[in-house]
């Protein structure tokens, strides 16, 4: 699953990191507490949050996330956007509430991976 597929399917508004939409999405993580996201998210995750502080860019870079989706129409703060553009971190905005956005992203990733062979 590639980031651009998710952007297209969910009609996300890309505000930074357009050049990295070809990145592969390996999984997802949801959280607004950055300490938690730093501790528990993984490389290649698509991170879904409503935290707009500029530290989200540092966390996404540090953890090599595929990108960040801001839900509920939350726009990144001006310094967040500057930093994300400079560092090429894809930030995508949607008006969807978190529950809906997360459900849709999960379904796309789960479908793509196919049924769990162990079941």
Partner 1 sequence: MKAFRCDLHIHTCLSPCAELDMYPRAILQKAREEKLNVIGICDHNSSENVASVQKAAAGHPLTVFPGMEVSSREEVHTLALFDNISRLQHFQKLIYDNLPGENDENFFGCQAIVNESDEVEGLNQHLLIGATSLSLQEIIDHIHRLGGLAIASHIDRESFSVIGQLGFIDPTFAFDALEVTPRLGLAKARETFPDLGNYPFITSSDAHFLRDIGKTYTEMWMAEGSFQELRLALRGEAGRHIIGGT
CB of 51 to partner 1, least distance (A): 7
CB of 112 to partner 1, least distance (A): 30
Of 37 and 108, the one with the shorter C-beta distance to partner 1 is 37
CB of 77 to partner 1, least distance (A): 7
Residue 82 burial (CB < 10 Å; 0-12/13-18/19+)?
A: middle
Residue 9 engages partner 1 in binding (rule: CB under 8 A): no
In whole angstroms, give the CA distance from residue 103 to residue 119: 22
Number of residues in the chain: 119
Residue 38 has φ and ψ, to the nearest 5°, of -65, -40
Binding residues among 20-79 for partner 1 as defined by CB under 8 A: 32-35, 37-38, 51, 53-55, 58-59, 77
């Amino acid at each position: 699953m590639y980031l651009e597929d998710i952007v297209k399917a969910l009609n996300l508004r890309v505000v930074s990191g357009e050049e990295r939409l070809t990145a592969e999405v390996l999984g997802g993580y949801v959280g607004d507490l950055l300490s938690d996201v730093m501790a528990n998210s993984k490389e290649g995750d698509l991170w879904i949050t409503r935290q707009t502080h500029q530290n989200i860019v540092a966390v996404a870079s540090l953890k090599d996330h595929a990108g960040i989706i801001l839900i509920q129409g939350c726009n990144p703060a001006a310094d967040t956007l500057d930093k994300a553009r400079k560092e090429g971190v894809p930030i995508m905005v949607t008006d969807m509430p978190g529950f809906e956005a997360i459900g849709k992203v999960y379904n796309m990733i789960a479908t793509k991976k196919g049924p769990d062979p162990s079941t």
